[in-house]
Structure 1
Amino acid sequence: MTTTQTTSQELIEKFTSKTATIGVVGLGYVGLPLAVEKAKAGFTVIGFDIQEEKVRMVNDGENYIGDVVQEDLEALVATEKLTATADYAFIRDVDAVAICVPTPLDIYKQPNMQYVESSAKAIASHVTPGTLVVLESTTYPGTTEELIKPILEEAGLIIGKDVFLAYSPERVDPGNKQFNTKNTPKVVGGVTEECTKVAAAMYRAVLDGDIHEVSSPSVAEMEKLLENTFRNINIALANEMAILCHKMDIDVWEVIDAAATKPYGFMPFYPGPGLGGHCIPIDPWYLTWKAREYNYHTKLIETAGEINDSMPDFVIQRCSEILNEQKKPLRGSRIIVLGVAYKKDIDDYRESPVLPILERLTNAGADWKVVDPHIPNFRFNGELIQTVELTENRLKEADLVVIATNHSAFDYELIQEISGTILDTRSSFRHSSHLSNRNIMKL
């Protein structure tokens, strides 16, 4: 048996026996749920984050992520199965470490890899031989081998011998009641076969979902982009159909519901005010950027992005049309916006399409207030904006109520009965029997 096989087998045995200590770099929407699941599986977990406030909150058992159960976090911290630190020197104490840091786009829609790069350098400075390193942040194909691998090698580490390097994309769907970190299938691709084997062993010891091994990190990186690009393009199609159906005076939601009766060859996607979150509106641009290296222009992906990015403008157009019918200008109109989160029943407003809608309402001189039961305040144009309570008076006094996020907590019966005019961007009332005699407008 070679030294490589011996080292990898020892590490696999640690995962199987759950005696390994696992590190998670980045304690945000992906990292904290992953750290909690690993600790719940029986591992000792150390969370790393440069934000001291997040470290303090974790160590105090204070949850700040919607998909994490407060009681779970408290119990894990109390039993010392989960701790957090801003000191990356403690990387030396882990047997495996997952990188779950942000991968934002810059103003030119190019990947900003500073967080991944700085995390890799911090790990390389302190990692000990026989450690598994897994990148989970969504990124462009080639990141693991073109960016992280050289950083580890510059530190004198041999991939597949001293450290085992792999990529495994996160598949978190905030607010999903059926699938979560624990039961969602996991894709794993290592730089070497041994790297894949070791990484797969760790995830099998943590998760209930299937572990699907692929031949390389690039395959795993590309499949994640395919997942979200698929959704991006199909949502763009639904949005374009919504615009066309509006012009033709056809109910696009009825059209989609009718098409969805076909048991094969069709998957329903739905229109809305635009895309939000840190995945679907951003991930396809990683692929577009990388494609330029191969002198290829991703026309379909870019067109889909343009359509989805234009939806806030279409929402404002509809607001203007609806108010014009009441002989009211957008300027000075009182508008209640229901929801600022990018999707229903979550507290995340990153890249929310509601933000550009608010920007356009502001520029038009509208008087707007936001109601969101999941978000007490949010950053807008450098200011901290407080959301307001949904009251009968606010609904009565509004010139227009815009349903931008269809949270389950909203009292739709009250909204329907009290409001004068409603623009429903999520078609929350499409199955309502009162739709024919209420002043509810659609996209």
Structure 2
Amino acid sequence: MSVNQQDLLSISPNHKDYLYHKIKNKTARIGVIGLGYVGLPTAFEKAEEGYDVIGFDVSDLKVKQVNGGKNYINDIDDAKFNEITKARKKLSATTDFSKLNQVDVVLICVPTPIDEYKQPDLYFVRSATDSIAANLHPGMLVILESTTYPGTTEEIMMPLFAEKGYTAGKDLFVAYSPERIDPGNRKFGIKNTPKIVGGVTEHCTSLAAGFIGEVAYPVSSVKVAEMAKVYENTFRFINIAFANEMAVLGEKMDIDMWEVIEASGTKPYGFMKFFPGPGVGGHCIPVDPYYLTYKAKEMNQNTKLIELAGEINNNMSEVVVNRAMKALNEHGKAINGSKVVLLGAAYKKDIGDMRESPILPILDELANANAEIKVCDPFIHQVPINNNMHPTVNYSKKLLQNADLVIIGTDHTCFNYKEILEQSKIVLDTRNACKNIGEKYTNYIR
């Protein structure tokens, strides 16, 4: 026997019970704002769970692709996506944000970039909140998933909802549950990665945790949830900086720091391996720490360690280019006019994501030094060099043979590293991709 809204509210006058009932029996309609690397997989997973899901985005192209059953995110199975959108019709998309008044649960999955001054840009969060506030109805659950600084949910979102006469924990439920999506990770995804959740009130937390399901990890407050997200990525940011600094020192001392780190990693406690590279990239690690420094400055606190780590990581592009110049000089060539092939432009292997890729500033610096650059990345069709888009090239032996220098920028597993070493004049490996074979070749540098 079904229970309609009026019957349930006559039993319990609060909206929490009714919304919990709809979430439990999958009759709640879900809205996801932002259909990018986080939003689309989230919308897809909720649709697979049995909910009816509406995706909201300002991009006509993304909306058209979703409604046409065309998947554009690598981590989603194309056939399953087509089934969910076309056959089962559990997921649709729209640019009409007034349709938010039709949903019961709203997930905000919009970008939170930093500007040129390393200041948080919350334009998309504010815009999404404005759209929700304009279409609020009693008994709605709103969950912010975008990375931000502690205080955003209560200081930016809640005042807009309060202006509409809503009270958190009574007729509106608001929580923060940061996304934990690692593009290209085949082991951990949305279904098996613990998900932190903190609500504005206890009712908000329990309702949001119930919606998230078994992977939910409730915390005592929304600020704890917000801090946890920036803390975990700042932790990685700082430790990568230490590995990068030691790699530069190791080169001066003729010590293989990759071997050092592997050796240190044999300790079964008290050590976690972080490896050096050409810098840090992606939508989280290069960005999140600056949300924390921004908030700290509001409270007249310095975050010297974070700022120093940023300086070290940002300097790695210069380190790579200087090593390229030195390698060419040792072979009697200047960087000016040299043919340089860069293998891989994505921020991590086996994906086509260039967000904050550490390879991009390397390309700019090589171009400024008048090198003739060709970029090969099977996952990417074009790359920006000094604000101009350039097409990538196909991998071939001839490409390697014609180059004065080959730089391994991203260690995609599809590259044949033995062939790269055999066919290239000089190989500069920024990822230790050739660790098992490189020492056999005199043209190999890392």
The aligned residue for residue 167 of structure 2 is: 158
The aligned residue for residue 319 of structure 2 is: 314
**SS of 1:133 mapped into structure 2:** strand
Query: Residue by residue, what CA displacement relative to the aligned partner does 1:332-361 show, whole Å, maximum 9, x if unpaired?
Result: 000000001000011100111111000000
Q: Alpha carbons of 1:4 and 1:394: their partners in 2 closer, same or farther (altered >3 Å)?
A: farther
The aligned residue for residue 252 of structure 2 is: 247
Is 1:166–1:190's contact at 8 Å kept on the other side of the alignment?
A: yes
Q: State how 1:16-35 maps to structure 2 within 5 Å.
A: 16-35=24-43
Whether 2:97 is the aligned partner of 1:88: answer: yes
* Shift of residue 413, structure 1, vs aligned partner: 2.0
Instruction: Give 4+ residue runs of structure 1 displaced > 6 Å after superposition.
Output: 1-5
Distance of 1:2 and 1:348 partners within structure 2: 51
* Shift of residue 2, structure 1, vs aligned partner: 11
The aligned residue for residue 221 of structure 2 is: 216
Query: Residue by residue, what CA displacement relative to the aligned partner does 1:77-125 show, whole Å, maximum 9, x if unpaired?
Result: 1121000000011111111000000111111111111110011010010
Distance of 2:12 and 2:379 partners within structure 1: 49
What's the Cα RMSD here?
1.4
Distance of 1:197 and 1:189 partners within structure 2: 9
Distance of 1:18 and 1:439 partners within structure 2: 60
Could you tell me which of 304, 307, 313 is aligned with 1:302?
307
Could you tell me which of 348, 369, 376 is aligned with 1:371?
376
* Shift of residue 301, structure 1, vs aligned partner: 0.6
Is 1:275–1:342's contact at 8 Å kept on the other side of the alignment?
A: yes
Q: State how 1:129-140 maps to structure 2 within 5 Å.
A: 129-140=138-149
Q: Alpha carbons of 1:114 and 1:2: their partners in 2 closer, same or farther (altered >3 Å)?
A: farther
The aligned residue for residue 123 of structure 1 is: 132
Amino acid paired to 1:72? K
Amino acid paired to 2:353? D
Distance of 2:439 and 2:13 partners within structure 1: 66
The aligned residue for residue 408 of structure 2 is: 403
Q: Alpha carbons of 1:5 and 1:184: their partners in 2 closer, same or farther (altered >3 Å)?
A: farther
Q: Alpha carbons of 1:151 and 1:86: their partners in 2 closer, same or farther (altered >3 Å)?
A: same
The aligned residue for residue 6 of structure 2 is: none
Could you tell me which of 303, 323, 337 is aligned with 1:332?
337
Amino acid paired to 1:383? N
The aligned residue for residue 266 of structure 2 is: 261
* Shift of residue 3, structure 1, vs aligned partner: 9.2
Could you tell me which of 185, 193, 199 is aligned with 2:202?
193
Is 1:139–1:221's contact at 8 Å kept on the other side of the alignment?
A: yes
* Shift of residue 438, structure 1, vs aligned partner: 3.7
The aligned residue for residue 5 of structure 2 is: none
Amino acid paired to 1:309? N
Distance of 1:412 and 1:160 partners within structure 2: 57
**SS of 1:83 mapped into structure 2:** strand
Distance of 1:343 and 1:380 partners within structure 2: 19
Whether 2:445 is the aligned partner of 1:437: answer: no
Distance of 2:62 and 2:385 partners within structure 1: 22
Q: State how 1:379-390 maps to structure 2 within 5 Å.
A: 379-390=384-395
* Shift of residue 441, structure 1, vs aligned partner: 0.2
Amino acid paired to 1:141? P
The aligned residue for residue 356 of structure 2 is: 351
Distance of 2:443 and 2:287 partners within structure 1: 36
TM-score, structure 1 length as denominator?
Answer: 0.97
Whether 2:59 is the aligned partner of 1:51: answer: yes
**SS of 1:337 mapped into structure 2:** strand
Query: Residue by residue, what CA displacement relative to the aligned partner does 1:57-84 show, whole Å, maximum 9, x if unpaired?
Result: 1111111112122112111111210000
Distance of 1:384 and 1:58 partners within structure 2: 27
The aligned residue for residue 4 of structure 2 is: none
Distance of 2:422 and 2:324 partners within structure 1: 20
Query: Residue by residue, what CA displacement relative to the aligned partner does 1:285-332 show, whole Å, maximum 9, x if unpaired?
Result: 000000011110000011011100000000001001100100100000
**SS of 2:14 mapped into structure 1:** helix
Is 2:237–2:286's contact at 8 Å kept on the other side of the alignment?
A: yes
TM-score, structure 2 length as denominator?
Answer: 0.96
Is 1:256–1:268's contact at 8 Å kept on the other side of the alignment?
A: yes
Query: Residue by residue, what CA displacement relative to the aligned partner does 1:204-258 show, whole Å, maximum 9, x if unpaired?
Result: 1xxxx52110111110000001110000000000000000001111111111111
Q: Alpha carbons of 1:430 and 1:2: their partners in 2 closer, same or farther (altered >3 Å)?
A: farther
Distance of 2:407 and 2:54 partners within structure 1: 43
Could you tell me which of 66, 74, 77 is aligned with 1:66?
74
Distance of 2:212 and 2:398 partners within structure 1: 52
Distance of 2:67 and 2:387 partners within structure 1: 30
Is 1:260–1:268's contact at 8 Å kept on the other side of the alignment?
A: yes
Distance of 1:155 and 1:381 partners within structure 2: 46
Distance of 1:268 and 1:4 partners within structure 2: 53
**SS of 2:142 mapped into structure 1:** strand
Higher mean alpha-carbon deviation, 138-147 vs 174-183, is at 174-183
Distance of 1:142 and 1:70 partners within structure 2: 38
Is 2:14–2:171's contact at 8 Å kept on the other side of the alignment?
A: no
Is 1:144–1:217's contact at 8 Å kept on the other side of the alignment?
A: yes
Counting aligned pairs with the same residue, the percent is 53
Distance of 1:438 and 1:17 partners within structure 2: 65
Is 2:14–2:170's contact at 8 Å kept on the other side of the alignment?
A: no
Q: Alpha carbons of 1:365 and 1:380: their partners in 2 closer, same or farther (altered >3 Å)?
A: closer
* Shift of residue 156, structure 1, vs aligned partner: 1.8
